[in-house]
Amino acid sequence: MEHRQLGRSGLMVSEVTYGNWLTHGELTGREQAVACIRAALDAGITTFDTADVYAQGAAEELLGASLQGVRRSSLVIMSKVCLPTGDGPNDRGLSRKHIMESCEASLRRLRTDYIDVYQAHRFDERTPVEETLVTFDDLVRQGKVLYLGVSEWTAPQIESALTMAGELGLRSRIASNQPQYNMVWRIIEPEIVPLCLREGIGQLAFQPLAQGVLTGKYGPGQDWPEDSRANAGGRAPSFINRVLGRELLSSVESLRPIAAASGLSLAQLAIAWVLSRPGVASVVVGATRPEQVKENATGAGKPLVEDVFRRIDEALGDLIDRDPAKTAQMMAVKPAWARSRS
């Protein structure tokens, strides 16, 4: 497993980050989740991503317990704050009260004294950016957080935060951006990527496999695998149904010969594609089985020749979405992507 610098910060992250959204506490049992984390460590993955809202804290608890006994300094643990963690009026957002309380709760659940990268999970329109940035800076000064990041912020929101941090004379600044990014969802390319490259902010791309669709496991006109997210309970089907349209699945099938010619599986091709894009430090990938972790990890360190990018673009054609207005609008997919309700 290779490691990359996170933007212009000094932090090194593994090219594949293990993420536990919609898996730990929801799709997998405890024993299976622990096995996946152990498989990640065995594969050389040192970077782990979670959030306070994932399974309402259960994901952080399981990750913290599973990493006990592993030398803390060898790990990069990332978490997030903003989305609702309770029913109270202050159980959400980026106010000083919620950030401070949520950070303390995350530290307890993760069984650690500090979070390596603490991310604003979404932009909070209600809270002044100044209040959020000063609070984050205080956490860094206290040693409870080492680096700051954002997730699903627009380019103007990131730029305004950078300007405000400079005006306030804050020591800490945004080091990472965690966007949804894959071969078909490229909305960060027109505005966010150029800004982040200029400002030294690294991309931690989540959903590089588009909920598993880019692995080819969901063939057009076929029954979904019994143990897949499409057949799972809870929230998983609502997310994956947005990428189970017949036209999209057929286009994914057309990627098979491209992957084969490169000596890769479809999953490895998808991960290698994201890791080849400018500014990407790591891809955040979840798993429900240890063997998935192993295959995802082997997608790292696979350079692609220029002709592969051209063939991928030709195969996907008009299905590729580059609309920057869709930042933080995960469900706003093209009609041809979504599973028919008929």
Q: What is the DSSP string of 36-84?
A: HHHHHHHTT--EEE--TTGGGGHHHHHHHHHTTTS-GGG-EEEEEE-S-
Among candidate residues 121, 80, 123, the one with its CA nearest the CA of residue 102? 80
What is the C-alpha to C-alpha distance for residues 290 and 16, in angstroms, rounded to an integer?
Answer: 14
Please pick, among 18, 54, 147, 181, the residue that the annotation labels catalytic.
54
In the numeric block, the tokens 């590729």 are attached to 320
CA dihedral 310, 240, 338, 208 (to 10 degrees): -20
**Whether the Cβ atoms of residue 26 and residue 234 lie closer than 8 Å to each other:** yes
What is the C-alpha to C-alpha distance for residues 44 and 33, in angstroms, rounded to an integer?
Answer: 17
- The helices-and-strands tally (H runs, E runs) of the chain is 12, 10
Q: Annotated catalytic, 218? A: no
User: H-type helices in the chain, by residue range?
Assistant: 30-42, 58-66, 96-110, 129-141, 155-168, 192-199, 236-240, 246-253, 256-261, 266-275, 290-297, 306-316
Provide the token pair at 243. Answer: 């990428």
In the numeric block, the tokens 């957002």 are attached to 93
Positive or negative torsion for Cα 51, 39, 274, 220? negative
Surface-to-core class of residue 152, CB atoms within 10 Å of its CB (0-12 exposed, 13-18 middle, 19+ buried): buried
Count how many Cα atoms sit within 13 Å of the Cα of residue 39 in the half-sphere of its side chain: 22
- Residue 174, SS3 per DSSP: strand
Catalytic positions: 54
